[in-house]
Structure 1
Amino acid sequence: MVASAAPFTSGFLCPTKPRTPLLPSSSRPSHSRLHFRIRSPDPKNPAAAPVSSRMEAAQPQTRDAQGGAESAMKLLFVEMGVGYDQHGQDITAAAVRACKDAISSNSIPAFRGGSIPGVNTDQMKLQIKLGVPRSTQHLLDAERVKAVFPYGKIISFEVVDGGMICSSGVCLEAMGDKNDDCYIVNAAVYVGY
């Protein structure tokens, strides 16, 4: 990877076209090079907003049982995962796998070992956000997905447009396939107290 020599500001790295002429295709290496330049934030482009404000805007919001006031959750960390259902076209299976992927590589001793005084698994709060292809969202079984989490109170469960439907490359009727669609779901699990 090649980067420009421009001094770092508060901008972003953006791919640019190579500055050297390309070799003829017969003598060109088989891999492509990415070139980056520093870009200053553009106030007209929301994607160019400072990273911290985009992250703050992405923080999940929770509501209390009375239906209005925001209840604060002290966020400890965010777990992310991806799940696939290559055969059978079951969006819930893909969502379950995404959530299991998000939580499977983590250990949370702080909730059991007393690292946070007065806080244990009974006080753990979870906010679940799933990126699911829009055309399949109505098929999602939220209760089956929520059952993945062994402890913690789920205070919000949000499904947004996301994920993907792509070809698995094969349709196997013996595995319940109606077609060769592969469903992909992304999960973000916010953990706090």
Structure 2
Amino acid sequence: MTEQRIILEMGTGNDLYGEDYTKAACRAVQDALHHSSLVLFKSLGIDHREMRVQVTIGVQQPERVDVDVVTAELPRGRAEVNIVHGGLNVHDPDNDTAHVIATAAIAALLPIDPAQWRLNKMARPDRPMG
């Protein structure tokens, strides 16, 4: 049985006044999570604990993100959070501060036995559905 990515969602989050990288990262995770609904767990009777969740957060100062706080934002699956250099800081020279913008990519993976699934021949890009 091999693990297959079943979804990939992206999100952004920011902290405009506190230069809080963890807060921006958490907001990016929440933004990504609000773009998806994984109904297949209930529909197919799959235990969500079988899902591995890979999270990559990009910020300008990765060392300032509390990984445990970000991990706690994930409601399902076994989370792996990786903080990397990315995102964006927008300097405010009038107030000598930075607006922190974080980006998040969340991938959900499930162990899937390819022998249990087959592609519907009608589900091809060159054939319209319906």
Do the two structures share a fold, i.e. TM-score over 0.5? yes
- What's the offset of the Cα at 1:72? 4.6
State how 1:130-169 maps to structure 2 within 5 Å.
130-133=57-60, 136-154=61-79, 156-167=80-91
What percentage of residue pairs aligned between the two structures are identical? Answer: 29
TM-score of the two chains, using structure 2 as the length reference: 0.77
Q: Distance in 2 between matches of 1:88 and 1:162?
A: 19
Larger Rg: 1
Aligned length: 110
Matched, 1:185 2:102: yes
Tell me the secondary structure at the aligned position of residue 80 of structure 1: strand
Q: Which amino acid aligns with 2:81?
A: F
Find the partner of 1:89 among 10, 14, 19: 19
- What's the offset of the Cα at 1:119? 2.4
TM-score of the two chains, using structure 1 as the length reference: 0.53
State how 1:5-44 maps to structure 2 within 5 Å.
none
Gap change, CA 1:120 and 1:180, over 3 Å in 2: same
- What's the offset of the Cα at 1:152? 0.8
Moved over 2 A (4+): 167-171
Matched, 1:129 2:56: yes
State how 1:94-133 maps to structure 2 within 5 Å.
94-114=24-44, 119-133=46-60
- What's the offset of the Cα at 1:120? 2.2
Q: Tell me the C-alpha RMSD between the 2 structures.
A: 1.9
Gap change, CA 1:131 and 1:124, over 3 Å in 2: same
Q: Distance in 1 between matches of 2:3 and 2:30?
A: 22
Gap change, CA 1:183 and 1:130, over 3 Å in 2: same
Q: Distance in 1 between matches of 2:40 and 2:93?
A: 44
Residue pair 2:65, 2:83 contacting (<8 A) in 1 also: no
